[in-house]
Structure 1
Amino acid sequence: MTPPPRPVAEIVWKIHRKLYAGTRGRVGRRFLGMTTLLLTTVGRKSGEPRSTALMYREEGPALAVVASNLGSDRPPAWWLNLQATPIAQVRVGPERRRVRARLASPEERDEMWPRFVEMYADYAEYERMTDRPIPIVLLERA
């Protein structure tokens, strides 16, 4: 299966993010058969809050997300924001929590990556589309 074209995916995720935020998590936690969260970071240039909806997996007490950026050679802005300021907020359904982001170790990534690909097969295609290693980011309670 081929991932959707970037403009289509960006529009769909933008609408999803607005629904998720606008309903305070009552709508949007499940999307395309996957669980999603709403991540709010501090913009590294603007200092303003920036939100994005992401698919996630629970990995022990952490929430794990993939910084794929649809297979782009550029990392997603949210990951760059977290590298500048690792403290963020997530909404999982109606629940909000403060988190600290950290990059999964190579060993952790090797263990988790197949589970992410099983959950969402397009991740394997995204990995083929780029030369950059696609990070897995762990969001741990702060």
Structure 2
Amino acid sequence: MSPAPARTAPGVRLMQKVSSTRTFARVAPHVIPAMDRAVHRLTRGRVILSAQMLPGVILTARGAKSGLPRTTPLACMPEEGSGTWILIGSNFGRDGHPAWTGNLLAHPDAEISWKGRDIAVRARLLQGEERAEAWRAALDFWPPYATYQSRIEREIRLFRLERRP
């Protein structure tokens, strides 16, 4: 019998339960990105602390208004074999789209740090059946996304990141 995927281990199930709470949604956006940025910088891009629970990237995109580089640590859903990544703009189930989603809408060419490598990518907002399929996969991947969506009226934005030549 093969081992269960890491995200179904008892510690992960506990984290899924905790991450579905409103308290987590209030605190996490202030704590997790700061910790991820610090650890990523200290390890020269080799480690993202929150990626011990979920795969993660450091996204660098130009600001929608300023045009300046904006760096954001994010959980991601790598698509095995295709060399693409899905980013989920859940904002921890809080009102309002996260700023990075507006940045990608305005400037889809971006860069990610993935497993210590910098990769040029182009982001594409998913819509229709393509979005529905990715959303189903995201719920299988991290069930708390359903709780996040149930708390808010906006539709959570999903982006597919594809490598640029």
Q: Secondary structure at the match of 1:102?
A: strand
**Equivalent residues of 2:46, 2:115 under 8 A apart:** yes
Q: Among 44, 57, 71, which residue is 1:51 paired with?
A: 71
Greater radius of gyration (CA): 2
**Structure of higher RCO (CA pairs closer than 8 Å, 6+ residues apart):** 1
Q: CA deviation at 1:23?
A: 2.0
Counterpart residue number, 2:117: 95
Correspondence for 1:28: 48
Which residue is 1:13 aligned to? 33
Specify which structure has the higher proportion of strand: 1
Structure 1 pair 6/99, CA: closer, same or farther in 2 (3 Å)?
A: same
- 1:128 aligns to 2:150 (yes or no): yes
**Of 27-36 and 118-127, the range deviating more from structure 2:** 27-36
TM-score where L is the length of structure 1: 0.89
Aligned-partner Cα distance in 2 for 1:30–1:98: 22
Alignment of 1:105-124 (within 5 A): 105-124=127-146
| Aligned counterpart for 2:61 among listed residues 41, 63, 70 | 41
Moved more, 26-35 or 104-113: 26-35
Q: What is the root-mean-square deviation in Å for CA atoms of aligned residues? A: 1.8
Bigger share in helix: 2
Residue aligned with 1:31, SS: helix
- Give the TM-score taking structure 2 as reference length: 0.78
Moved over 6 A (4+): none
1:137 pairs with 2:159:
yes
Number of aligned residues: 142
CA deviation after TM superposition for structure 1 residue 76, in Å: 0.7
Report the Cα distance in structure 2 between the residues aligned to 1:71 and 1:5, rounded to whole angstroms.
7
SS, match of residue 131 in structure 2: helix
SS across alignment from 1:34: coil
- Cα deviation for residue 31 of structure 1 reads 2.3
What is the CA–CA distance in structure 1 between the aligned matches of 2:55 and 2:49, rounded to whole Å? 6
Structure 1: which 5+ runs fail to align? none
Distance 1:58 1:8, change over 3 A: closer
Measured in 2, the distance between the counterparts of 1:141 and 1:130 equals 31
Task: Give the superposition deviation at 1:47.
Answer: 2.1
Cα deviations across residues 106-127 of structure 1 (Å, max 9, x unaligned)? 2112112122122222211110
Q: How many angstroms apart in 2 are the aligned matches of 1:98 and 1:22?
A: 22
